Amino acid sequence: MLFFSKRCNIGLLLRGSYATIAHVIKAMSNTLQLGLVGLGTVGAGVYETLCRNHSLLEARAQISFAVKRVAVRNLSRPRDVEIDASMLTDDWRELVNDPTIDIIIELIGGVTEAYDLVLAALRAGKPVVTGNKALLAERGSELFKLSAEKGVPLYFEASCGGGIPIIQSLQNSLICNHVLSIAGIINGTSNYILSSMQDSATSFLDALLKAQELGFAEADPSFDVNGWDAAHKALILAMLAYGTPLDPSKIAVSGIERVEAVDFQFAKKLGYAIKLLVVIKRHEEIDALELRVQPSFVPLDHVLANVNGVFNAIAVNGDIVGETIFYGRGAGKNPTASAVIADVVMAMRECLQPGYHTGFNPYSKNMTVIDQADTVTPYYVRFRVKDCPGVIARLATILARHEIGISATSSLSNTVKSADGTTRNELVFQIHACKWGLLQASIDDASKEDCIDANPVVFRIEQFND
């Protein structure tokens, strides 16, 4: 006689989802079989940990499991991990189509092939564990919808914050909270670069080269420094926190490429640190989300200002719990592997409760994202100007014309040479809170002045008390 948990949905079983009766019998009596796709840095870390800590995991989860097959792109490539060649294949479809494999772990990266893989696995009724942030940010809405329709969970803890358990926390620990806002540092490479520039007064390029030497930055670091790695994670967090699908084209993204050593001098003088910050905020009065990624001035007395090196931190503000901080290593082989395996254990446990899973189910209507031009913060604006009479007054007049207030001005004694060989001074304006669009219009007007260089450096000044 087979007994099911009270949570088990018999109707779901009979409709032919992943939790067939035969599947449940196997899950409760035999060893669960895992299929791993991808044996790169993270994939190797997952495989090594599953092997090294196999007894510990089985004892804690109270479930017997084994890795049955591993799919890789190139069978002849040398590997840093020892693995029986008979376990390898270069066709992930063999894992999806194998009726004895219960759970698929997707770690190949990219979007197109990973999408085909996850889609096929969900349709085959196999729960999927992934750490693929680009996939979920760009195609997550479709995959989450299919996951809900099929009753087949898709787990993705490792997609945001590496080893930080932010996904499970949003889904479970903070389940009774309306999320008012999320602000965080969720790209370790950019945070290491900015920390190095702050601590060593070094240039962006020198800090980047050091990060590459230490293995914190890829040979092509553009995805990290241009803000899009953090943006993909922000989209996933926003979808999860607000239960709504989101269009990646709606998020406002800028990277750290234009941050210079002089900006850290001004920041220190004014009482701030500079961080690549993700900001997700719900504006209840208009039922819309503010969603942006950009270098920001963070007050030195806020915890995020003191998150340095490759560490990440995410501040979640809930209406019941208040502000909570999640801190840890945001990337790397072992932290990410830890998050993947936590999801694997969750998937194995929930194979025993087929009518219930904690994969993401969209539960809200589609929410709009506020146009960046309408978002409001104070700003730091660094102009490069000729040393000519009345330049400050000219800038003040232009800003006033757009009804933008100035809270302070500042300058340093150093001068710089522009591309045309002329000497320029660095002049900083602190701007009162105003719409981004108004500020941009005033900057466009200022660039028409012959004594003011075009394209000043602009950072938002974040406020965390609203």
Q: What's the confidence (pLDDT) of residue 246?
A: 85
How far CA 248 is from CA of 135, 233, 243, 320, in Å, comes to 11, 11, 15, 29
Q: Given this model, what pLDDT does residue 15 score?
A: 36
Q: What is the pLDDT of residue 416?
A: 66
- Residue spans of the domains in the chain: they are 10-165+334-351, 168-327, 373-461
Phi, psi of 394 (to 5 degrees): -60, -45
85-108 residue pLDDT tens? 999 999 999 999 999 999 999 999
Q: Scanning the structure block, which residue is given the tokens 């000044």?
A: 461
Would you tell me which CATH number, out of the four given (3.40.1180.10, 3.40.50.1100, 3.90.320.10, 3.40.50.720), belongs to the domain 10-165+334-351?
A: 3.40.50.720
Q: Which of 126, 133, 150, 233 is catalytic?
A: 233
**Residues 194, 199, 201, 204, Cα dihedral to 10°:** -20
Cα dihedral 442, 447, 452, 457, rounded to 10, equals: 70
| Run of H or E residues at 293 | strand 288-299
Task: Compute the C-alpha angle 204/206/209, nearest 5°.
Answer: 110
Name the CA radius of gyration of the chain, rounded: 25
> SS3 of 419, please?
coil
The whole-number pLDDT of residue 21 equals 46
Task: State how far the Cα of 263 lies from the Cα of 272, in Å rounded to an integer.
Answer: 10
Report the sign of the C-alpha dihedral through residues 353, 354, 359, 364, in that order: negative
Per the structure block, which two tokens stand in for 355?
């009518």
Per DSSP (E only), the strands in 95-249 are 103-106, 128-130, 154-155, 179-185
CA atoms of 452 and 30, how far apart (whole Å): 73
Here the tokens at position 286 are: 């208009």
User: According to the model, what pLDDT value does residue 20 have?
Assistant: 44
133 is catalytic: no
pTM for this entry: 0.85
CA atoms within 13 A on the CB side of 13: 17
Identity (one letter) of the amino acid at 432?
H
Closest CA to 118 of 144, 82, 90, 81: 144
Q: Look at strands 376-385 and 457-461 and give their pairing.
A: antiparallel
CB 13 within 8 A of CB 20: yes
Q: Which residues pair with 184 in a beta bridge?
A: 278, 314
Q: Which CATH architecture has domain 373-461?
A: 2-Layer Sandwich (3.30)
Token pair for 227? 């803000």
- Residue-level pLDDT at 417: 63
pLDDT of residue 420: 61
Question: What is the crossing angle of helices 133-150 and 228-242, to 10°?
Answer: 30
Domain 168-327 has CATH 3.30.360.10: yes
β-strand pairing of 88-89 with 103-106 = unpaired
Closest Cα partner for 304 from 172, 186, 166, 448?
186
Residues of the chain with pLDDT under 70: 1-29, 331, 354-365, 412-422, 465-466
For residues 406 and 429, what is the distance between their CA atoms, to the nearest angstrom?
7
Structure confidence at residue 17 (pLDDT): 44
Quick one: pLDDT at residue 354?
61
- CA 143/CA 149 separation, integer angstroms: 10
pLDDT at residue number 451 = 87
